[in-house]
Chain A
């Protein structure tokens, strides 16, 4: 039941946390170049990928997200020097913990996308949306009170 789609109209909801200095500009670049990426991806801009509190990710799942992706600068390129090194450690541990609790590891991802990589941003999003579509709805951390219907 957890793994299947309820109906044919179901579309995955993806939350992407994007670093202001790189990935967010990368998404912007994709837009100005008229590159297509699925509308299922809702971007939330953060000042740095290490601003992301584990609670943000859990709350996204609570409110009905089916997958969460975090995009930051390539290691070594952080605007604040070391932010993404911390992200790397934290998210590795958090994703491992979520998997341990039964939230499949395929639902969470970290990707490094620079401001110049508009095409890469699009590729990453296409791939991630495809992966989540295959997995189906995420019910395991969903809060029924947040359902629209």
Chain B
């Protein structure tokens, strides 16, 4: 697949369709993937990478890149295309400056997962049937690909590209994911258990803002938490309230716009399951206002900007354990 993408990227540069290509490159390891803009075929042949570790969603980079001179080609995995559509809906991208190439994805892996499983000294990784085989300094280690995948990929919502100018590989399907299972488990707990669960997770937050800065839905010019005049400006959570406040408000700000791309949980250095907050909103919205997938179509009206006069539930519908 990597060679195919390289070839296509070079062709697009050569025939003048675009003057830049947004893809991924790696450093000393095969898994330290950095989103990269390539300007020459030479650079692409040398550095372009597409492998199981290319989890980074490139859509957000297009906000800045599409404002620049000339057209840019971008490789989008199925879930990235949802973010792309959502950004289009929010008028954050200059569509005429983008050439979107849909590419297939079989689920992505973070090297962190391997490290956390005690696999150290990794020199190379290859797929062998359903297994990931790691060649390490300490010998060969195996891990089932299913287990190694990011959570968001294990409960992948769609293999379908919702927007592209050109598609490489075959079109996938919207999947019947089990992404709300974890949310339901939490809902079944008592308020005290839920509080303790979230307290344990959120109190680890170091307010590095990685979740916010990587999030395609968080595209404000000045975030409320960076604005000294907002009254909630703070660089560190000096107590538990501020941790919770930051994450509740962030989840609320992206409610109805979050495509559930899962970048927030992928990048969190403290491994906080932030997607469980976003998914709660998605689940509630689906239950109350009909199934809604942000980014599925360009120009969709967010359920939080819309209303019905007579059919909307009253807030009292919230029962113990959420909306049933």
Contacts and interface: CB of A to CB of B under 8 A. Distances in A.
Q: Determine whether A and B are in direct contact in the complex, meaning some CB atoms lie less than 8 angstroms apart.
A: yes
Interface of A: 2, 54-55, 58-59, 61-62, 75-76, 82, 85-86, 88-105, 108-110, 140-145
B314 A88 contact: yes
Interface of B: 183, 186-187, 191-199, 224, 231-232, 239, 241-242, 244-245, 248-249, 251-252, 255, 277, 280-281, 284-285, 288-289, 303-304, 306-309, 312-323
| Interface SS, B side | helix
A102 B307 contact: no
Contacts of A100: 183, 186-187, 194, 280, 322
Contact of B255 (A62, A85, A93, A145): A93
Contacts of A90: 304
16 contacts: A2-B192, A54-B248, A55-B249, A75-B312, A89-B288, A90-B304, A92-B312, A92-B315, A93-B281, A93-B284, A96-B322, A97-B277, A97-B281, A99-B322, A102-B198, A110-B315
Given A99-B320, A145-B239, A89 B248 contact: no
Given A54-B249, A58-B245, A97 B307 contact: no
Given A91-B315, A102-B198, A141 B241 contact: yes
B320 A54 contact: no
Contacts of B194: 100-102
A124 to B, nearest CB: 12
Give the most central of A93, A98, A110: most B CB within 10 Å: A93
Nearest to A101: B198
Contacts of A93: 252, 255, 281, 284-285, 288, 304
A95 B82 CA distance: 27
Given A99-B191, A99-B322, A85 B315 contact: no
B244 A105 contact: no
